[in-house]
Amino acid sequence: MTRLHNDCFIRALLRQPVERTPVWMMRQAGRYLPEYRRVREQAGSFMSLCTQPELACEVTLQPLARFRLDAAILFSDILTIPDAMGLGLSFAEGEGPRFARPVRSAAEVRALPVPDPEDRLRYVTDAVRLIQRELGGRVPLIGFSGSPWTLATYMVEGGGSREFRKVKGLMYQEPQVMHELLGKLAEAVGLYLAAQIAAGVDAIMVFDTWGGVLSAAQYREFSLAYAQQALERIGLDRLERKVPALLFTKGGGQWLEAMAGAGYDALGIDWTTDIGEARRRVGDRVALQGNLDPQALYAPEQSIRAEVERILESYGPGSGHVFNLGHGVWPDVDPGRVGAMVEAVHEFSPAWHR
């Protein structure tokens, strides 16, 4: 593997000493950048952009040319696994993802294949290999997947949802079918992330975007248990190199203690949880990532700087903190405000690592 010139992000995830708090941003390669929009237009469609490794590489690296970020994240989508399962994924402009063939019965679940990542998802691992060559060790590359529960929500609903009636209906009415689906997805997610690691990513992240719509008992049974299964399927303890794993459950602040026991090295938290309180609750069991409200990036630069300073102060001294937004950057944010956030982290955070 290429030696990392800047491993601040990796050291923070492992709670090792750092000189400053590392910073990156969820959805940092995306529509808020005019250079991304130009490549997206060239590709013709979102999925075309995702499935062309050269273009995926280009947009992955774009934010690093603008901002002093401490990590790159693979440009892809959380729904690549269900797409590779043959569910007919499409993206309608302004409407989000849609599946032509939703999964809502035991027979449909049993018919689902577990995709070979180096076959149906080869475009992802090819992109990883290309990005790592282009990065040349400048910063770590993050690979990722949707969590089994979050993937299941889209697969059962047939797309995005606000009420989650279909997926929760299946969970309540036929829990054994839901468990079968989640077990198959945990295997697929584990294989997919293992393939990304073999291709060269330096860290992995599981996005549990919709874990927060569940009750406490349901979260443990239907979301966290399968995020843990996926992690175990990877076999990180058998690797020759340490690859930190990060779990982000949007709306999951009330379950931090349970999440900290799931085997991940770090937890992402959204802006609704105070990061200092989160640190007190998890102790030294895991690192924490977060958690500026993405809407704060619409504020004047001085307000952004003040929010960055407040979050750093709330976390307090020492390592184990990766600065990030509490969710992804919004597409109409001024890139200059992103730059203000990044520079504020660079300016203010060294004082907390002396």
Q: Which of 11, 70, 104, 154 is catalytic?
A: 154
Q: How many CA atoms lie within 13 A of 68 on its CB side?
A: 12
pLDDT-derived band at 328 (thresholds 50, 70, 90) equals: very high
The answer on whether 233 is annotated among ligand-binding residues is no
Q: Which of 11, 40, 104, 305 is catalytic?
A: 40
Average pLDDT over residues 159-182: 94
List of residues 6+ apart from 221 with CB closer than 8 A:
none
Question: Beta-carbon neighbour count of residue 243 at 10 Å?
Answer: 20
The distance of Cα 59 from the centroid of its chain, to the nearest Å, equals 16
pLDDT of amino acid 205: 98
Average pLDDT over residues 320-347: 97
Are residues 64 and 50 in contact, defined by beta-carbon separation less than 8 angstroms?
no
Is 27 tagged catalytic?
Answer: yes
Q: Is pLDDT of 64 > 80? A: yes
Q: Is pLDDT of 133 > 70? A: yes
Q: Is pLDDT of 1 > 70? A: no
The answer on whether 5 is annotated among ligand-binding residues is no
Dihedral (CA of 247, 253, 258, 261) sign: positive
The predicted-structure confidence for 240-254, as pLDDT tens digits, reads as follows 899 999 999 999 999
Q: Is pLDDT of 2 > 70? A: no
Domain 8-353: state its class: alpha beta
Average pLDDT over residues 92-96: 70
pLDDT-derived band at 91 (thresholds 50, 70, 90) equals: confident
Q: Which of 31, 101, 120, 220 is catalytic?
A: 31
pLDDT of amino acid 11: 98
DSSP letters, 149-213, are HHHHHHHHHTB--SS-HHHHHHHHH-HHHHHHHHHHHHHHHHHHHHHHHHHT-SEEEEEETTGGG
Q: Is pLDDT of 96 > 90? A: no
Is 77 tagged catalytic?
Answer: yes
The answer on whether 42 is annotated among ligand-binding residues is no
Name the pTM for this structure.
0.96
pLDDT of amino acid 95: 66
Q: Is pLDDT of 187 > 90? A: yes
The answer on whether 27 is annotated among ligand-binding residues is yes
The answer on whether 29 is annotated among ligand-binding residues is yes
Q: Mean pLDDT of all residues in the chain? A: 96
Please state the domain extents for the chain: 8-353
pLDDT-derived band at 264 (thresholds 50, 70, 90) equals: very high
pLDDT of amino acid 15: 97
Q: Which of 11, 36, 70, 77 is catalytic?
A: 77
pLDDT of amino acid 161: 84
Average pLDDT over residues 25-33: 96
Q: Which of 11, 27, 104, 305 is catalytic?
A: 27
The answer on whether 273 is annotated among ligand-binding residues is no
The answer on whether 162 is annotated among ligand-binding residues is no
Q: Is pLDDT of 237 > 90? A: no
DSSP letters, 214-261, are S-HHHIIIIIIHHHHHHHHHHTGGGSSS---EEEEETT-GGGHHHHHT
Is 154 tagged catalytic?
Answer: yes
